[in-house]
Structure 1
Amino acid sequence: MLKQPLKVSLYTNATVLSVLIEDEQLDCTNLEDRSDGLRQFVALINFLEAEQVDRQPILLIDEAEIHLHYDAQADLMNMFAKQQLASKIIYTTHSAGCLPEDLGTGVRFVSPLKNEEKSTIENWFWTKNRPGFSPLLFGMGASNLAFVRIRKAVFVEGATDMLLLPTMFRQVTGRSYLGFQIAPGLSTAAKSDLSLLENEAPVVAFLVDNDDAGEKLIKDLKSAGIDETRVFQLPGEDGLVLEDCVCKELYLEAINTVLQVRQQTQITMSLEDLPNINRPEAVEKWCAEKAIEPPVKRDIAYHLLDFATGNRQESLVQSDFKELLKELYESIAKSLNL
C-alpha cells in the first residue's frame, strides 16, 4: 500500500526519455524498476490525462486486480471513487479486493449459461438470509472468503439501507467516497450470526432504524458482545426508518412510478396518504386497502437512485435531516478511525 504521494517526472538525455518516480524525500527510481501494478497505474492516469475529448470518457478495464496485491486493490478502488478524469469506470474482477465502495449499485454478476456461448447479467444477488458480505462473496467464489478483511464496513438492516445510504451520505457530506462499505442483513440475521460479523472487515460498525425492530437489534448486538460505541441508530423521532429521511415528494414519485410501471395500475398515492414516520408500513396498508400488491421496497430505492444519479441529479435527503445525517456519518467515521 502506498504510504506517501509519488510524483512522475520525465528526464531526457539525448534521444533517451526516462520516466522517474519521485517520493517525498526526493528519491528517484526508474519506472521500469517499480512494480507491474504501479507501472500500469501510471500508464492509466497518463492515458486519461492525454485524452483530448469534448466530454469525459467512460473507462473500461478487464481484470482490474492483475499485478495488484489486496491492499493495492483497495487503494485502486479508493482512487476510482475520487478521480475526476472519467465519467464512469466499468471493470471486471474476480477479486474481493476490487469490490467497489458502493456495493448496492456498483456490482453486477456475469454468469455463463451452461452449454451456450452466452452469459446473463444479474443486478441483484443479495438473496440469502445470511448477513454481511457472504452472499456477494459466495457469488464470486468461496475462495474469496479468506480475503474479505480489507476495507472497513457498516452493517445495516436491509437492502434499502444498503442501496440508499451511500448516496445519501455522499450528498450530505459532499464527499465522493465514504471510506467504508455498507452491507445488509441485520434484520434477517440469526442471533448466533451477529458476533461473526466483526470478522468480515478490519473495523465494523452497525446502523439500525429508530423503531422497535431497531431497539431489539441493539439489544441483540450488545448481547452478542458488540461494543456499544460502534452501534448507531438513525436520528429523529421514535419509529423513524431510513425512508422517512428521504424527500417526501421524491419518495411518493418513486412509489407511484413503481405502481404504474411494475404493477400496471393507474391508482396513485397522494402526499396526504404518506405520513412522516414509517412510510413503508403506511404504503403496505394503503395498498391493502386498494386491493393492489404493494411495491417492492428495493424497486422504490432503485427509482430514487435514478432521480439522484441520473439526469435529474436530485438531492434525496429531506432538508430537516441533512445536518442530522451528516453528523451521523461523522460519528460512524470516527468510530471506524477514518
Structure 2
Amino acid sequence: MSTTSTYSPFRISPRDRDNLDRNEAFRLVREHLRRQELGMKAPSFCSSHRHDCSNQEQETFRLHRDIIHTILLPLFLLHHQASRIAANVLPSHKGAESERAFRGEARGAYAWLHSILSEEHDWYLTERCPACIVLHVMNSEPTIRFVAVACLLSDHLQGLDLPSAKRRLPNFDFWYESLETAVREDTFWGDGFWPDIEYRACALTDGVKQLVLQCLELQAALNRQGLQPEMSYRPNAHSRYDSPRPSVTAKQSSCTQMPVVSEEDQKIFAKASANRVNSRPQRFHTRRHADARRRSVTS
C-alpha cells in the first residue's frame, strides 16, 4: 500500500454539506450516480486511488464528483439543445457551422462550449474514477474556467417547471468559493492566477446567458412557423422536416431561462455516455494528477 495519501483540493463547510444532504434534487442526482457506479464492471476507483485514498477520502471524492456532475450537466444540455436549434435554423445544404446560428457573445460562448465539451468528453461524463474526475478540474485553465462558469450559472440554468421549491437544486456559490481557494493555494496555479480565470469566467458567463436568450428566441420563431413542436429533446424522435430548413429571424423574448435538468435530461446524458463507450476505448481513468498541466488561457 502506498505511504502517501491523495486528498481532494476542494473543501466545503459542514453547513454547506448539511444543505446538500437536505436537498431532495441533489439527493436524487447522487442516487443516480450511485446506481451508475454500482453497475460498472470495473472498480469505482482506479488502481492508484484505491490504495492511496482512505475510505473516508473516497467518500469525499464521491461527494465532490457528484457536485461537479450536477453543475456541469446543465451546460452539457444547453449545448445539446443549442446544437439542435441551430440545425433547424441554418440551411442544411450550405453545411454551415452551428455557431453561425447565433450572434455576438452568444456565438463565442457556443463555440467555447463546443470546444471544451469535445476535448473533455471523458471527464465531464463523470463515470470514471471519482478521484481522477475531481483532480482533473485543476488540470488546465479551461477546465477550471468551465467549473467556475457552471457555478456562476447554477441558478440561472435551473428549469422553470419544477413542481416545488423542494425540487430545486441548491445554490453552488460555496463551490465557486472552494474552487477559488483551491486555485489560490495550488502550487502550480498560485494566488495571482485566479483574477485572470475569474475575469474570463465572468465574461463567458455573460455569453452563455445571451446564448440561452437567443435559443429561446429562435425556438419561439421555429414554433411559430411550425418547424419544431417542442423544446425538450427526444432522442428517438425523427422530425418530418428533414429537407433544407429556412433561416429564421427571431423576435425579442423576455425569457432569460430555459428548462434544463430533469429525469429525461439524465437519460440524455447517460445516452451520450453509452455512445462514447461504444465509440472508442476509455482512457480517462488512467490519467494521473501528476501529468503535465496546462496554464494556457487562450483556449
TM (norm. structure 2) is 0.29
Please state which structure has a larger fraction of its residues in helix.
2
Please state which structure has a larger fraction of its residues in strand.
1
TM (norm. structure 1) is 0.27
